[in-house]
Structure 1
Amino acid sequence: MTQPARDDLDFRALMGDVAPLSRARNRADPGRRQGGPSEAQLARRESAAAEQADRNFLSDDFVDLVPPFDPLAYRRDGIQQGVVDRLRHGGYAAQARLHLLRLPLEECRRALPPFIQEAHAHDLRSVLIVHGRGQAIDSPANVLRSYLAKWLAQFEEVQAYVSAQPSDGGLGATWVMLRKSDRARAANRERQQKRRG
């Protein structure tokens, strides 16, 4: 007897009295009611929604619109005015750029947190966000600009931000100064200690 024939006999012996399903019931019955997700699926969805909300803490609630010709400016307590002035005049090189021109508000809201957090994680200090500026106070570009001013202040990583100079995008772009990461601060302390001897 050949090996394939022996395998076929073994298979038939193992299957014994197994009968095929009828055509009407040829699918497995998971035992749950039709038309809705199970409790486990609902719990997973709720957990995923809560996790997404935690990841993106930026509010899309009402914001006071910034007039289109007013520059944006913000600095946390303890940040020297000289640092903000140098940032405003392009004294720090753009280490990364985020272009939000003509993107929907919700897409901008999703893109901003990973950009800021990744830039901070890579020890970048100055980044440029290009968002545009409309002529009317309620233009989409100016609405985005207003939300951006609100959102940036919500990041712990952001020390200051100011509208850019005309050569860098003017009122349609914003310079952002990020705080040093713990790793960068430790390296800076080590350098200073070596200098002191």
Structure 2
Amino acid sequence: MTQSAHDDKDFRALMGDVKPLRRSVNRADPGSRRSPPTEAQLARRESAQADLGQDSFLSDDFVELLPPFDPIEFRRDGIQQGVVDRLRHGGYAAQSRLHLLRRPLAECRRALPPFIHEAYAHDLRSVLIVHGRGSEIDSPANVLRSYLVKWLAQFDQVQAYVSAQQADGGLGATWVMLRKSERAKADNRERQQKRRG
């Protein structure tokens, strides 16, 4: 008996009492009817959608408009002023950029969370957001700039942000410093341990 015939015989012995599914109950068949989702399935879907929409806290409700010629600055407790000053002067390279210039507010609101989360997930620390600045307080660019100030402060990943220098976009761009991820902190500790020997 050849090896192939022997394998075929073993397979038939193992599958002897297995019967094919009836076509009407084959769940892989796209033509089969689906029953309505159970309460548990609906709850899981709702939870998953809530996880995906976890940044729905970024509302486009009322925001106090910033004067168009005032620079912005924000830093969390524990962030040294020297870090903010270095960020403002472009002392950290822009590891990624987000261009929101002339985009509708709703689109900017949708684009910001994935950008921040992806930058954080890839261990980026300094990013530049280009948003523009109008000369009037109620210009679309200044409205976006005002919302951006409100939105950025709501991200746990954001440690600080400041208006950029003229060479990097001036008041029409904002430097953002993200905190280190746990992975980056662990890598840093490991490097420090190796240096110490």
> Does the TM-score normalized on the shorter chain lie above 0.5?
yes
1:54 aligns to what SS in structure 2?
Answer: coil
CA drift at 1:57: 2.3
Q: Which runs of 5 or more residues in structure 2 are unaligned?
A: 1-32
| 1:183 paired residue number | 183
CA drift at 1:136: 0.4
Q: What are the Cα deviations for residues 44-86 of structure 1, in whole angstroms up to 9, with x where unaligned?
A: 9x93875554343212111111100000100000000000000
| 1:161 paired residue number | 161
Is the CA contact 1:134–1:141 (under 8 Å) kept in the aligned structure 2?
A: yes
Q: Distance between the aligned counterparts of 2:50 and 2:193, measured in 1?
A: 45
| 1:114 paired residue number | 114
Alignment of 1:124-143 (within 5 A): 124-143=124-143
Q: Distance between the aligned counterparts of 1:67 and 1:180, measured in 2?
A: 32
Q: What RMSD in Å do the two structures reach over aligned CA positions?
A: 2.0
Paired residues in the alignment total: 158
Q: 1:193 to 1:50 in 2, by over 3 A?
A: closer
Q: Distance between the aligned counterparts of 1:111 and 1:130, measured in 2?
A: 12
Query: 50-59 vs 164-173, which deviates more?
Result: 50-59
* Residue 84 (structure 1) aligned with residue 118 (structure 2): no
Q: Which runs of 5 or more residues in structure 1 are unaligned?
A: 1-29, 31-37
Alignment of 1:48-59 (within 5 A): 50=50, 53-59=53-59
TM-score (norm 2): 0.75
Q: Distance between the aligned counterparts of 1:53 and 1:60, measured in 2?
A: 15
Structure 1 or 2, whichever has the larger Rg, is 1
Q: What are the Cα deviations for residues 112-167 of structure 1, in whole angstroms up to 9, with x where unaligned?
A: 00000000000000000000000000000000000000000000000000000000
1:101 aligns to what SS in structure 2?
Answer: coil
1:175 aligns to what SS in structure 2?
Answer: strand
Q: Distance between the aligned counterparts of 1:103 and 1:73, measured in 2?
A: 23
Q: Distance between the aligned counterparts of 1:50 and 1:82, measured in 2?
A: 38
